[in-house]
Amino acid sequence: MINVLMCTYNGEKYIRQQLDSIMAQTYRDFRLYIRDDGSTDSTMLIVDEYVKRFPEKVKVVSGASHLGYPDCFWDVLQKCESADYYAFSDQDDVWDEHKLEYAAEKMGDEARPVLYIHDYDNCDGELGLISRHCLGDVAVLDEMSILFYTYASGFCMVINNALRDLLLRQNLVGKAMYHDELCIWTAFFHGKILYDDRNLTKYRRHEATYTEYGNGVGTLVSNWLRREIFGDEFLLKCRRIRIFLSLKEIRPSEKRVCRSWLLLSGGRMTFARYFKRLCWGHRLRPSVGGEVALRIMFLMGRGR
């Protein structure tokens, strides 16, 4: 059994396409749990239509009117019934009809925590192809590369029950821990990450998203300045790292790794530690631009 977990908020424009793609899955042993986060449009009217059409498949999870991201995902992960696997879903994407089938085949019945990730297509609002996101090889994930860059997004992740149980024991609601980031960190250090190079989701970068995350150099620089230099995105990232290190059951078991992550997150900063962080010898982001931006933030002492 696979539980598909979807959080919705004012998604009336595209949600039917995503619901249809989920209901058309070749793997039929699944349930879809939907948690609305206080929509003010017709999202829940649409969801109710699918509940009536597929009463054995579609379940609505009740909860606080607006938890926001990421707590809405932790809430639905906690409240859904137990299953073998759990697949996270956005409200406005479109899945390949074989996605759940391929995930179940690849994950098997391992007892240890397992995270499955797949490649995907970046698309515009009409699902026209913009680019293909390809991880290439799970070997690119190491104890340093996963720290400041998230190689896979939640919508292309499936976790097994062992990983779900491990995460839920951390009481994550209210800790502002991103579900995709934490799944990667936890599975890397305490389980296994499986990679599927098939593109199994059309990730819709609709108008507002595409404008914000466009691929041009000018857009990338502008977003970096707005979100990390003048905004609090990098500061919050460093705080999430330190929260992760405080969770004894899922943090890295090697003290060496914990010390390195704490240093790079800006914790316990002295002049010697500032200099060591600034001159860190390991590549921390995959792109040259991203690495330069990170080193500039180290230079500025950001993250403390």
User: Would you give the DSSP letter of residue 251?
Assistant: S
Q: Give me the pLDDT at residue 206, please.
A: 64
Chain segment 164-188, per-residue pLDDT in tens: 999 999 999 999 999 999 999 999 9
Tell me the average pLDDT across 154-161.
97
Q: In angstroms, rounded to a whole number, what is the distance separating the alpha carbons of residues 262 and 268? A: 8
> Where in the chain does DSSP place strands (E)?
2-8, 30-36, 58-60, 85-89, 94-95, 114-123, 129-133, 157-160, 192-204
Task: Report pLDDT digits (tens) over 99-119.
Answer: 999 999 999 999 999 999 999
The C-alpha atoms of residue 206 and residue 101 are separated, in whole angstroms, by: 27
DSSP 302: T
Parallel, antiparallel, or unpaired for β 114-123 and 157-160?
A: antiparallel
- Please give the span between the terminal C-alpha atoms of the chain, in angstroms, as a whole number: 43
**Model pLDDT, residue 302:** 86
Coil/strand/helix, residue 147: coil
Position 222 pLDDT exceeds 80: no
Residue 53 has pLDDT above 90, yes or no: yes
Q: How is residue 72 written in tokens?
A: 């809405």
Q: What is the pLDDT of residues 1-44, one digit of tens each?
A: 999 999 999 999 999 999 999 999 999 999 999 999 999 999 99
What whole-number distance in Å separates Cα of residue 169 and Cα of residue 47?
30
CA distance 50 to 207: 26
pLDDT for the residue 212: 43
* Digit-coded pLDDT (tens) for 255-271: 999 999 999 999 888 99
* pLDDT tier for residue 65 given thresholds of 50, 70 and 90: confident
The answer on pLDDT for 122 being more than 60 is yes
Lowest pLDDT segment from 123-127, 224-228, 284-288: 224-228
What band does 196 get if pLDDT is binned at 50, 70 and 90? very high
**Radius of gyration over alpha carbons of the chain, in Å?**
20
